[in-house]
Every structure is written in structure tokens, then in C-alpha cells.
Amino acid sequence: MTPVERAHELRAQIRFHNERYYADDAPVVSDAEYDQLVRELAALEAELPELVDTESPSQLVGAGVLSTAFSPVTHRVPMTSLDNAMDAEELAAWGERIARGLNGEPARFVCELKIDGLAMSLRYEHGVFVQAATRGDGRVGEDVTANVATIASVPQQLVGAPPVLEVRGEVYLPIDAFERLKAAKQAENEVRVAAGRKPEPVPVNPRNAGAGSLRQKDPSITAERELAFWSYQLGDVEGAPEFTSHHETLEYLHTLGFPVNPEIRVVDSLDEVYAFCRHWQEHRHDLGYEIDGAVVKVDSLAQREQLGFTSRAPRWAIAFKFPPEERTTLLRDIQVSVGRTGRTTPFAVLEPVFVGGSTVGMATLHNEDQVRLKDVRPGDTVVVRKAGDVIPEVVGPVLAMRPEGLPAWEFPRLCPCPLQTELVRPEGEADTRCVEPECPFQRDQRIIYFGSRGAMDIEGLGDQTVLQLSEAGLVADPGDIYSLTREQLMGLEKWGTTKADNLLAAIEGSKSRPLPRVLTALGAKGLGPSASEAIARRFGTLDAVMAATEDELATTDGVGPTIAASIVRWFANPANRTIVEKLRVAGVDFGRVDISVLPPILAGKAVVVTGTLEGFNREEAEAAIKDRGGKSPGSVSAKTFAVVVGAEPGASKLTKAEALGVPVLDEAGFRHLLDTGELPE
């Protein structure tokens, strides 16, 4: 294909995707894939300037007014787009262009979060809200005044405003509101499916759901969607004070009553800019709303004037894009895995795709109902999401790209293990299970779980090693791990002295794990780390736990009757008792837990720790709270007694604490709390 042909093809694809994104709020590719198309076209046009066309998508902003549902609005000051930097190198190149454009004059920068929402222009005349318009193609947008008027964070009247004030910002859907909207649609789909009707598409992310909410013909529907707004720029203004910097305009907006994002920072160097970007790339999930990058702007308005614009974007600003957390790819197959308790989980086998910082070839589908409600089918193009360390998930299908006649997937009737036992779904439960005790898949998963990081933490005893040991007949339950010998391991394929000795040393080291780890590793259904710790603190030894009644276990804080019954059933099973005795003979420590002798001055109090403390690591801080009878949950609520804040705290925890009026303590205040049980005065 010649460069000219490729340019034509890229332009056609980009125009198609613009229409799906801007007009229909139903994109068929991820933002990252769209950006790749735009960057490829821009690179072609830069290499061959004769290909540049004024109507090329690379020279335009957005997609214009493509809907007849809303009236057009001409922007008196164009709403431009932003150029992108995808990494530190591209950010540095932008900084060099700024330096050249200013003839070496130093610049200050304003760093903002790039909200993943919908750009919006709000117009006020003599302090009264009169119009809201989308960006459109930058010159002409759509009139969405009636819908934006329903957003609680958009002021309807201003005190002390100039005759004309245009405020630009981002309309977005908070994550909590998105989850409620998604849950409501899923519940609606359950009713549809139960009635034999097809489920409707479920919102895949807050941006698309927010845009769809804003473009409702009925403003009362928009009002139900809990949209919000951040302001970040002035547009057309008459009679306002004179400003010399961008951050002054933000302060002005704040004094007028507009919401201005609290994470905005003014910095003096590009190194500080990159530190801001890197921090929020790591902490993007601490917020109550979606961001997909950071926006960096030259602060001086005079310097902005000097730098000017390209045909579509200001030279004085750039968007630093974070790695994509959503991509589209082909769903090759849906298979089923079997866990240690017999629970069967469908998972997607994908055409490998780079998302969330790694290449993903498989993703969870949770359970049978979720597959049916999402209506994903082998052969679909699907949206895959991987956020931080979260397990990759198939969000849903791209229905516009579904091949005609693609059959729905059916949950298998038989366990995929060699025994081919019939699967059972108990009435009232969402999970389908293999109930065959001899199922080899369950056996292997129990051993894998026993050695995992949250349990006995046996380095080197991962999935592949356990499967190799199992296939060789060397382990049939967790107790057999402790009878492995160097000779047995050396007899396995690709095992040498070093690998064998390292595993044996890790196994030996695991014998001294504390009782809560041992309880967790045994794998009674529902018995996780928190309940294991509470039980260990109360009963002290494994033998005491084994002798405890259901009532005694159930009255342990954080346990309850369901987990208590599960523990009693687990120890009543002769096969499980045999495992325990193997561990005892091997020398695994069932001894007492160090029970705190400190007075329970924090009894009944929940203290959340966020950020890095100088005198405690996270585990030590939480242990100090629990040793005094308190709790240290991972989230802030109205019942939280205090939040301890160290360096680089989670923004969402701090924000929520302030919103709920929960006391916030520094490290000195935390030490006072540990000493007295009381808040510092």
C-alpha cells in the first residue's frame, strides 16, 4: 500500500471512529487504538507534507456537530484540542520546543489532571447561566444547556461576575455514580434475561456513560445520572479583571463558586512536571473519578501569547497520556477453570493485547450469569480492562463488530478435569461447582493456594511447579510438600541443584510462619487473612482452634456463623485432619500467637493508615492499632475514628475523610493516639 493510499485509509478510519465516539457515544476501539491511528496519520503527513489536507482529521478538532438532537452553537473563541506526549521523552521534547519558542526565557507550568470526561463550555451573562455547549469540532458545538443545568456542581447564578463569562471544563461521571448506573442496568438485564429477552448493553466506562447521560433528549434522565463538573479555563470574557497567569484565572473561578480540581499544582521545572505525571500515573485509582493522563500548561498568559497555536492545538499546553487500561481485542474462546473449593470460573482466551502495562492473553468472566448478562461470545471483539494490579476483565462486547449469526456461549455441564464429573449449581447461588472430592484440578489449586504469598509464602512453589510435582506423583495434598527431597526434585525435567535447594530452603522457612498464615493456608471456605488473624488472636494455637465449637468461633470478632460452620466442617473431614498431622510431623509451627498485653485503648475504633510513615511500615502501623484492640480497615467511612496520613497518601482516602469530618492525624498525632487512645488536642 502506498503512503497516499494508507493516508486515505487512515482518514476514513478516523472519521468513522470520530462519529462513533462523538456522535453515538459508542466507540468501537479504545482511546489508545484511536490515538495510534491519529499518530500514524500525523507521522505520514509530517514525512510527506504534500499529503496534508485541511480537511484531514489530523488538522481538525473532534468530529463536528453530528447529531440533529441538539442545536449548533458557534464558539466565539475556538475550543482547541491538545497534542499528546506518551512518555518522558516526548514530554522533554515539548519542553525543548517551549524553551525555543520563548528564546530561553524560563517558564512556570501548571499541572492538572486530565479528567476522562466531556469538554464543556458554560456561558454566563450578567451572572446568569445561559448556555452550555460541547466542543464539537472546536468551532461549532452542540447546545446541551437544559441537560447541563441539571448538574449540581454547575452554578446557575454568580455573584460579582462580569457581563460575559465563558467557563470551560469537563463534565464527568464519578466512579460511584457509574457503579450505581452499571448495577441498575445489570439488574434490569437480569429481569430481561429471566423473561427470555436479550440483555441491553451495559455501560463499559464512566466516560462513555457520562457522555451518553449528557446527550439524553430528556433532561430529567440526565438529572438522575449524578454528573459532575470541573472548571479549568476561561474562554470568551468581557469585563473581567486582568490576569497575568493561568493559576490566577483558576483562583478567580474558585472565588466565583466554580469547582476547581484540588490536585492542580504550579511548578518551576519540567522535572517537577514529570514527577507530577509519574505520581498520578501510580495513584490514578485513589481518586473518585477517572483520569487518563495529566495536562501541562505554561502558566504565564504573556508567554502563551508568544507561543501561539498550531492549526488544532495550543503550543503552550500538552496532554501527558497514561498507558491505556482499556483495549479492544478478539475473544478467541471461553473456557472454565476449577478452583480449590470446586468453584468453576469462566475465563476469556484473548488475542494477546497490551493493556494496563502488560500483555494480556486471558481475562476473568466471573461466573455463568455474568457471561450471559454481558452477552460475550467467542468470536466477538471485546473491551478488555486492566487497572493497576487488578485482574484483567472483559468489560463487554463491541456489538457493532459482532459477526452475523454468532452463537451464544453455553456453560459446560461437565468438569473439564479428567474425571468429567457433572457440575452442580446449588439453588440460590451464582457459582457452579465441581463436587467431586478427587478432582485433580481442585487438588492442585489447594496446593498452589497453600504456598501462595498470602498464605505460607513458599518462594518457587508457583502454578507450574505444583503442576509438575502433581503430575510426577510427588504431592497429593499440602502436607506432602514437606516430605519432598532433593533427589525427587532433581529427577524432574529442567531441575538442577540450585533450583531444588532454593525450593527446599523456602519450604523449610515456611515452617515458622505465624498461626494466622497457617489458618489461611489450610483453605477452609471463607477463611481469609482477616478472620484468620482474629481467630489466632483469640484461640492462640491451632489445636485450640480445632477444638473450638461453632458458637465459640462465631462470636470471634469478624468471623460470624457462616465462616465458623465452614471451619468446623473443614476440621471434621478426616482427609483434612491427615493434612494437619503431616504438617505437625514436619515441624510446622502450630504454637501460640504473640497476644498483645497492651491495654485495649483503641477497642471498637477503626483507624485507617494511608501514605508512608517514617517510623512504621504499613504492616507495623496496622499491627500497632490491632495490638491495642482497634481495627485498621482499608477504606474510610463515617464510622472511621481517625485517618493517619503519611507521605504520598491516597488522595481518595484523604478527600473522603475531609468530606466526612473524620479527624486526620500526622505521625506525631498517631503516636499520641497509640499512647493514650485519644485524639491529640
Active site residues: 114
54 Cβ partners below 8 Å, 6+ apart? Answer: none
Give dist(CA 257, CA 411) in Å, integer: 54
Going by the DSSP 8-state scheme, the letter that residue 20 receives in this structure is I
CA 627/CA 603 separation, integer angstroms: 10
Residue 195 has φ and ψ, to the nearest 5°, of -90, 5
Report, in angstroms and rounded to the nearest whole number, the Rg of the chain calculated over CA atoms: 29
CA quadruple 570, 573, 574, 579: dihedral, nearest 10:
-20
Q: How many CB atoms lie within 10 A of CB 497?
A: 10
Q: Which residues contact 557 (CB under 8 A, 6 or more apart)?
A: 534
Tell me how far apart the alpha carbons of residues 282 and 47 are, in angstroms, rounded to a whole number: 35
Give dist(CA 441, CA 419) in Å, integer.
Answer: 10
Cell of 447: 496446593
User: In the block, which residue shows the cell 510438600?
Assistant: 481
The answer to whether residues 210 and 226 touch, using CB atoms and an 8 Å cutoff, is: no
According to DSSP, the residues that pair with 359 across neighbouring strands are 354
CA distances from 425 to 361, 409, 429, 434 (A): 28, 17, 7, 9
Q: With H, G, I as helix, E, B as strand and everything else as coil, classify residue 30.
A: coil
Question: Would you call 353 helix, strand, or coil by DSSP?
Answer: strand
Handedness of CA 568, 574, 579, 583 (dihedral sign): positive
Alpha helices in 472-573 (DSSP H): 486-490, 497-510, 515-522, 529-539, 542-547, 550-554, 560-572
> Would you give the distance in Å from CA 472 to the centre of its chain?
40
For residues 475, 481, 486, 490, the Cα torsion angle rounded to the nearest 10 degrees is: 40
SS3 of residue 669 by DSSP: helix
Residue 515's φ and ψ, nearest 5 degrees, are -55, -40
The span from the CA of 215 to the CA of 26, in Å, is: 12
For residue 47, CA distances in Å to 52, 58, 92, 602 come to 10, 14, 22, 67
Q: Which residues contact 659 (CB under 8 A, 6 or more apart)?
A: none
Closest CA to 12 of 57, 62, 67: 57
Give the integer Cα–Cα distance in Å for 214 and 118: 9
Q: Which residues pair with 385 in a beta bridge?
A: 326, 393
DSSP-derived letter for residue 177 is: H
Contact between 149 and 219 (Cβ < 8 Å): yes
- Give the type of residue at 423: L
Whether 290 and 207 have beta carbons less than 8 Å apart is answered as yes
Angle at 346 between CA 343 and CA 350, to 5 degrees: 150
Q: Which residues touch 209 (CB under 8 Å, ≥6 apart)?
A: 173, 178, 181, 182, 203, 225
Contact between 333 and 100 (Cβ < 8 Å): no
Which amino acid, 179?
E
